[in-house]
């Protein structure tokens, strides 16, 4: 089994274009939320109205309009982020033949929501024969991978994983599998989601989104007693995974090394919410760390996927407390300012673990005794070992431990 490192990172979203833009936005408390188009009448009265949207972000320099018009919104975001990630890894401009063994793994919570809605509108309003072939092609969850593959000539394994909020790390673990087993020489892990008005309204009807507060703001407050839901968002992040020797051969240094990975499932979770199976999840996490040779005591930072949902944050806190006991490392929860979907979380985790950027809690917490954890105001700027956690509604879960420095003997995921 090969060791696996992250050699490049690209991100696009409401914060703008590039990982540096994301880092700056994170430090500043996150991008501004926009009003979601509610003209279709999908939204319930009094529910969430805002989201972190990427509609105004200009991707033309990364995805020429002639190509862009044939892509779904997630595919467009993915292609843009992939170009940035390859450049960050020093792989921009590679010949197509050099991507013969490049694999692609998309992680998406919802897939191409807008395209699906348009297709259904055509079928129901105008009849089945009105369904657009072009939209249908883009309606599959793996379309973003296919568009990236076409663009760069990637001919290794190509797939998408859907596991709601855990899609990001499930995809990262699967991308690492491809490189570790030699099924791919390198893998692009593409974490992408869009936030269409219908999807936003449905999430709100499931009570997943933060409610408007007295001052009209909709704020995600991870682990905070006042939390009422997540902040909806969209965007894409792409991580380039390689073997460390391939990165060294180009005279570059990896951002981080994947020191361990774990996956689990909470069978107590209902289909639409988080469960209470913290014991089983903590055991799965501990098992994965053990297989990677990672001691919990060595972890200096936790980048938590807590997004401000009532049950999700409580479960996350319970799992962390079981793993670490009284000695909880500093915790950051980027979804509080960067939103819950669209790759910003996994990009922020990579930035934090690599020492490139980190931000503490944007607002002071009011501790929730049911959680018993607080996010750090001043997290460590250069952690040696970082745990990243994603727990999904419906039960899926995944974690990775990211380390700086070279792998030890036999280290792999």
Partner 1 sequence: MSGAAVAVTGLGAVCGFGWGLEPLRHGLAAGHTAIERFDRFDTAGYRTSLAAQAPLPPRGVDAAGGRRATWADRFALAAAHEAMACAGLGATLAGRAAGLFFGGATGGMFESEEYFAAIGAGAGAAVSRLASQQPSGPADAVARALALAGPVTTTAAACASATLALGAALDALRSGEIEIALAGGSDSLCRLTHAGFNALRAIDERPCRPFRVERQGMSIGEGAGVLVLETAEHARRRGARVVGWLAGCGASCDAYHMTSPDPGGEGISRAVAAALADAGVAADAIDFVNLHGTGTAANDAAEAKMLARVFGARARRLPATSTKSLVGHLLGAAGGLEAVATLLGLADGAVHPTAGEGTLDAALGVDLVVGAPRALPMARRALSSNLAFGGANAACVLLHAEAR
Site residues for partner 1, window 49-68 (CB under 8 A)?
A: none
In order, the DSSP letters of 10-70 are EEEETTEESHHHHHHHHHTT-PPPEE---TTS-SPTTS--EEB--TT---TTTS-HHHHTT
Residue 276 as a binder of partner 1 (CB under 8 A): the answer is no
CB of 222 to partner 1, least distance (A): 24
Tell me if 259 sits within 8 A of 300, measured CB to CB.
Answer: no
Task: Count the residues of the shown chain that bind partner 1, applying the rule CB under 8 A.
Answer: 79
What distance in Å separates the CA atoms of residue 301 and residue 313, rounded to the nearest whole number?
17
| Selected range binding partner 1 among 153-161, 243-251, 297-305, 335-343, rule: CB under 8 A | 153-161
Residue 146 as a binder of partner 1 (CB under 8 A): the answer is yes
CB of 97 to partner 1, least distance (A): 11
Tally the C-alpha atoms within 13 A of residue 280's C-alpha that lie toward its C-beta. Answer: 14
SS3 of residue 102 by DSSP: strand
What distance in Å separates the CA atoms of residue 47 and residue 97, rounded to the nearest whole number?
50
Write the CA distances from 312 to 202, 238, 259, 367, integer angstroms.
18, 25, 26, 15
In 266-411, DSSP assigns E strands to: 301-304, 331-332, 385-391, 396-403
Site residues for partner 1, window 349-388 (CB under 8 A)?
A: none
Residue 196 as a binder of partner 1 (CB under 8 A): the answer is no
Residue 95 as a binder of partner 1 (CB under 8 A): the answer is no
Site string for partner 1, 198-217 (x = CB under 8 A): ----x--xx-----------
Nearest alpha carbon to residue 140 among 111, 164, 176: 111
Q: Which residue number, 141 or 404, has a Cβ lying nearer to partner 1? A: 141
Residue 92 as a binder of partner 1 (CB under 8 A): the answer is no
User: 202 CB contacts (<8 Å, ≥6 apart)?
Assistant: 42
Residue 270 as a binder of partner 1 (CB under 8 A): the answer is yes
Q: Which of 174, 218, 242, 365 binds partner 1 (CB under 8 A)?
A: 174
Residue 286 as a binder of partner 1 (CB under 8 A): the answer is no
Residue 153 as a binder of partner 1 (CB under 8 A): the answer is yes
Q: Which of 69, 226, 250, 291 binds partner 1 (CB under 8 A)?
A: 291
Residue 119 as a binder of partner 1 (CB under 8 A): the answer is yes
SS3 of residue 281 by DSSP: helix
CB of 156 to partner 1, least distance (A): 7
Residue 155 as a binder of partner 1 (CB under 8 A): the answer is yes
| Selected range binding partner 1 among 21-29, 61-69, 177-185, 212-220, rule: CB under 8 A | 177-185
Q: 287 φ, ψ to 5°?
A: -65, -40
Tally the C-alpha atoms within 13 A of residue 185's C-alpha that lie toward its C-beta. Answer: 11
Q: Which residue number, 346 or 357, has a Cβ lying nearer to partner 1? A: 346
Residue 336 as a binder of partner 1 (CB under 8 A): the answer is no
What distance in Å separates the CA atoms of residue 137 and residue 70, rounded to the nearest whole number?
10
| Selected range binding partner 1 among 4-12, 15-23, 174-182, 352-360, rule: CB under 8 A | 174-182
CB of 159 to partner 1, least distance (A): 4
| Percent helix, strand and coil across the chain, each to the nearest 5 | 35, 20, 45
CB of 355 to partner 1, least distance (A): 29
Residue 132 as a binder of partner 1 (CB under 8 A): the answer is yes
């Amino acid at each position: 089994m090969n060791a696996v490192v992250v050699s490049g990172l690209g991100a696009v979203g409401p914060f703008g274009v590039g990982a540096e833009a994301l880092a700056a936005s994170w430090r500043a408390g996150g991008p501004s939320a926009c009003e979601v188009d509610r003209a279709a009448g999908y939204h319930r009265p009094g529910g969430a109205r805002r989201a972190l949207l990427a509609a105004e972000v200009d991707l033309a320099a990364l995805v020429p309009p002639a190509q862009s018009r044939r892509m779904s919104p997630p595919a467009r975001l993915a292609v843009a982020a992939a170009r940035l990630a390859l450049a960050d890894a020093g792989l921009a401009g590679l010949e197509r033949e050099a991507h013969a063994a490049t694999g692609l793994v998309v992680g998406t919570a919802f897939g191409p929501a807008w395209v699906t809605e348009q297709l259904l509108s055509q079928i129901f309003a105008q009849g089945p024969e009105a369904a657009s072939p072009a939209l249908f092609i883009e309606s599959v969850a793996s379309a973003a991978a296919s568009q990236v593959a076409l663009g760069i000539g990637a001919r290794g394994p190509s797939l998408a994983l859907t596991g709601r909020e855990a899609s990001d790390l499930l995809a990262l673990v699967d991308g690492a599998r491809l490189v570790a087993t030699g099924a791919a020489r390198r893998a692009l892990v593409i974490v992408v989601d869009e936030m269409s008005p219908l999807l936003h309204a449905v999430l709100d009807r499931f009570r997943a989104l933060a409610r408007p507060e007295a001052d009209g703001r909709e704020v995600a407050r991870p682990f905070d007693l006042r939390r009422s839901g997540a902040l909806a968002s969209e965007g894409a992040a792409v991580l380039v995974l390689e073997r460390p020797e391939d990165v060294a051969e180009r005279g570059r240094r990896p951002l981080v090394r994947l020191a361990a990975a774990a996956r689990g499932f909470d069978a107590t979770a209902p289909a639409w919410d988080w469960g209470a199976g913290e014991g089983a999840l903590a055991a799965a996490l501990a098992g994965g760390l053990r297989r990677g040779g990672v001691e919990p005591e060595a972890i200096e930072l936790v980048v938590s996927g807590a997004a401000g949902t009532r049950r999700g944050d409580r479960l996350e806190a319970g799992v962390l407390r079981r793993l670490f006991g009284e000695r909880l490392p500093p915790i950051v929860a980027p979804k509080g300012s960067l939103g819950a979907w669209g790759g910003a979380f996994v990009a922020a985790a990579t930035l934090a673990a690599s020492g490139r950027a980190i931000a503490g809690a944007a607002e002071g917490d009011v501790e929730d005794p049911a959680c018993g954890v607080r996010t750090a105001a001043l997290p460590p700027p250069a952690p040696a070992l970082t745990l990243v956690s994603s727990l999904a509604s419906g039960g899926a879960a995944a974690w990775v431990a990211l380390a700086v420095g070279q792998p030890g003997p036999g280290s792999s995921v």
